[in-house]
Amino acid sequence: MRTRTFLTGALTSLLCAALNPAFAQRGDQPVHDTTGTDRRDTAVARPVVTHHQITVEGKTIDYTATTGYMLMHDETGEKPLAKIFYVAYTAEGAPRAKRPVTFVFNGGPGSASIWLHMGSFSPVRVKFANDKGDAPAPPYEYEDNPYTWLGFTDLVFIDPVSTGYSRPAKGVQAGDFHGYSEDLASVGDFIRLYVTQNQRWGSPKFIAGESYGTTRAAGLSGYLMSRYGMNMNGITLISSVLNFQLIDFSHGNEMPYIFFLPTYAATARYHHKLSPELESLSPEELTQKAEAFAGGPYASFLMEGDNASAGETDRMVDSLHYYTGLSATYIRQTRERVNAFRFFKEVLRDEGKTVGRYDSRFTGEDMDDAGERSTYDASDNNLTGLFVATFNNYVRKDLGFKSDLPYESTANVRPWDYKPAENEYLDVSETLRAAMTQNPHLHVDVVCGYYDLATPVYNAEYMVSHMGLRPDVRKNIILTYYEAGHMVYVSKDTDAKLLKDEKAFYESALK
Q: What is the pLDDT of residues 339-356, one digit of tens each?
A: 999 999 999 999 999 999
Report which of residues 435 and 30 the model is more confident about: 435
Positive or negative: CA dihedral 301, 307, 313, 317? positive
The confidence score (pLDDT) of residue 423 equals 83
Band of residue 15 on the pLDDT scale cut at 50, 70, 90:
very low
Instruction: Choose among 306, 202, 183, 216: nearest CA to 254.
Output: 306
Q: Are strands 80-91 and 59-73 parallel, antiparallel or unpaired?
A: antiparallel
User: Residue 452 to residues 25, 54, 197, 355, 459: CA-CA distances in angstroms?
Assistant: 41, 32, 38, 11, 11
- 3-state SS class at 337: coil
Fold of the CATH domain 96-245+385-509:
Rossmann fold (3.40.50)
What is the pTM (predicted TM-score) of this model?
0.91
Share of the chain above pLDDT 90, in %: 86
| Phi–psi pair at 161, nearest 5 degrees | -55, 135
Backbone φ and ψ for 405, nearest 5 degrees, come out as: -70, 145
Mean pLDDT (the chain, rounded)? 91
Beta bridge partners of residue 448, listed in sequence order: 481
504 backbone dihedrals φ, ψ, rounded to 5°? -65, -40
pLDDT of residue 74: 82
HSE-up of 465 (CA within 13 Å, CB side)?
6
The radius of gyration of the chain from alpha carbons, rounded to an integer in Å, stands at: 23
Label residue 41 by pLDDT band (50, 70, 90).
very low
Residue with more model confidence, 43 or 168: 168
d(CA 276, CA 506): 40
How many Å separate Cα 125 from the centre of its chain?
Answer: 17
d(CA 83, CA 172): 11
Q: Which of 21-35, 120-134, 178-192 has the lowest mean pLDDT?
A: 21-35
- Greater confidence (342 vs 27) lies with 342
Average pLDDT for residues 308-323, to the nearest whole number? 98
The arithmetic mean of pLDDT across residues 59-83, rounded, is 91
Letter for the amino acid at 462? Answer: Y
Average pLDDT estimate for 91-113: 94
The mean pLDDT of 295-324, rounded to a whole number, is: 98
DSSP 261-295: HHHHHHHHHHTT-S-HHHHTS-HHHHHHHHHHHII
* pLDDT tens-digit series, residues 433-456: 999 999 999 999 999 999 999 999
DSSP label of 31: P
pLDDT in tens, 358-397: 999 999 999 999 999 999 999 999 999 999 999 999 999 9
Give residue 32's pLDDT band: very low, low, confident or very high (50, 70, 90). Answer: very low
Question: Does the pLDDT at position 4 exceed 90?
Answer: no
CA dihedral of 326, 328, 333, 336, whole degrees rounded to 10: 80
Q: Write the pLDDT tens digit of every residue in 244-295.
A: 999 999 999 999 999 999 999 999 999 999 999 999 999 999 999 999 999 9
What pLDDT was estimated at residue 1? 45
What tens digit of pLDDT does each residue of 403-415 get?
999 999 999 999 9
Residue-range domain boundaries for the chain: 96-245+385-509, 251-376
Task: Look at residue 43 in the predicted model and tell me its pLDDT.
Answer: 56
What is the SS3 assignment for 382? helix
- 459 neighbors 259 (Cβ within 8 angstroms): yes
Residue 5 has pLDDT above 60, yes or no: no
What pLDDT does 29 receive?
A: 28
Q: For the purposes of burial, counting CB atoms within 10 Å of the CB of 462, is it exposed (0-12), middle (13-18) or buried (19 or more)? A: buried
Contact present, 74 and 81 (Cβ < 8 Å): yes
